[in-house]
A = this chain, B = another copy of it.
Amino acid sequence: MSKIIQCIPNFSEGRRPEIIREIVKAIETGGAKVIDSSLDPDHNRSVITFIGDPEAIRAGVMAGVRKAVELIDMRTHTGAHPRIGAVDVIPLVPISDVTMQECVELSRELGKWIADELKIPVYFYENSASNDHRKNLANVRKGGYESLTKGKLEGNRAPDAGPNVVHPTAGAAVIGARGPLIAFNVNLCSADFTLAKKIAAKIRKMRNEGREMAGVKALAVNLSSRGIVQVSTNITEPDKTTMFDVYDFVRAQAAEAGVEVENSELIGVVRADALIRSAAESMQLIDFDEKRILDNWLE
């Protein structure tokens, strides 16, 4: 087994594919393997997924961030998804033969590099957070880029590294190590943004009350270019809540309002195991375990 880390940076550009191609090219120069890039024009955001050993991840993050800061200008950025910077958030996920602690250390090293080299205020989140409040990405991003431009970054807005004023074109950045999550969106056959917001709130309520939807983060997004709304989720405990659980919950909630699901989409990549458990869940399959999978018996 070789050391493998997954990195899934989110860039605040989802309308100009040529910009994302340049960033992908920069990331690849360090030896990392880019396995997916998703652009969303409504979110006005891209998610690039790449994997590699710690050296390739270090080189890929540095080159990708440098290129993004060169090409993205937050002063003219608009989009449906909360964000605070050109390089909005950089999660590092241990995949094989790497500990969470190694990813935490790499994220802090890279965060300091971004702060020192590019003069961008940097916040650490999730397992790399300096306090409990910053563990949660939503807290760090609250108010978005615009709120950060209103003055000095002090008190609970003070960055963990870098200058205490926002970078004029690149904004601020968030970086940290976290466990795997599934970025999974359910699109409704409806333009009713209030309905999407109600469903996202219901998911959060169920989760907070410990009833269903364990580990699911949800928000409503208006996909105006497609004339529909979306319930956008992160499944952070895929062992407890499957993709089908989320799909089916949204489907049932929408059905109560007479609305059907148009389709669903995965951003980035997912482990085969998560899809397989989702399949079992969707069919109420009993007596099922990995021994039932023929592939596991073949060398």
Beta-carbon contact of A298 and B35 below 8 Å = no
Beta-carbon contact of A294 and B247 below 8 Å = no
Given contacts A278-B279, A278-B283, contact A293 B265 (CB under 8 A): no
Number of interface residues of A (CB under 8 A): 45
Q: Please measure, in the bound complex, the distance between the C-alpha atom of A292 and the C-alpha atom of B293, giving whole angstroms.
A: 19
Query: Looking across the interface, which residue of chain B has its beta carbon closest to that of A299?
Result: B2
A257 at the interface (CB under 8 A from B): no
Query: Looking across the interface, which residue of chain B has its beta carbon closest to that of A276?
Result: B275
A282 at the interface (CB under 8 A from B): yes
A284 touches which of B35, B264, B280, B293 (Cβ 8 Å): B264
Among A33, A247, A284, chain B packs the most CB atoms within 10 A around the CB of: A284
Given contacts A265-B286, A291-B35, A293-B270, contact A244 B279 (CB under 8 A): yes
Given contacts A276-B276, A283-B243, contact A297 B51 (CB under 8 A): yes
Beta-carbon contact of B285 and A263 below 8 Å = yes
Beta-carbon contact of B271 and A293 below 8 Å = yes
Given contacts A271-B293, A272-B272, A288-B266, contact A247 B283 (CB under 8 A): yes
Minimum CB–CB distance from A244 to chain B (whole Å) comes to: 6
Number of this chain's copies in the complex:
2
Given contacts A285-B264, A285-B266, A286-B263, contact A6 B276 (CB under 8 A): no
Given contacts A275-B275, A276-B276, A287-B265, contact A294 B282 (CB under 8 A): no
Q: Which residues of B contact A266 (CB under 8 A)?
A: 285, 287-288, 292
A84-101 Cβ-contact flags toward B at 8 Å (1 or 0): 000000000001100000
Q: Which residues of B contact A294 (CB under 8 A)?
A: 6, 35, 51, 95, 269-272
Beta-carbon contact of A269 and B293 below 8 Å = yes
Q: Please measure, in the bound complex, the distance between the C-alpha atom of A286 and the C-alpha atom of B187, giving whole angstroms.
A: 11
Beta-carbon contact of A292 and B279 below 8 Å = no
Known: A35-B294, A261-B284, A272-B294. 14 other contacts (CB 8 A): A33-B297, A35-B297, A95-B294, A95-B298, A247-B283, A262-B284, A266-B288, A269-B292, A271-B293, A272-B276, A275-B279, A275-B293, A278-B279, A282-B283
Pick 21 A–B contacts, CB within 8 A, sort by A: A2-B299, A33-B297, A35-B291, A51-B298, A243-B279, A244-B283, A262-B284, A265-B287, A266-B292, A268-B292, A269-B291, A269-B292, A269-B297, A270-B293, A272-B272, A272-B293, A272-B294, A272-B295, A278-B282, A279-B279, A279-B282
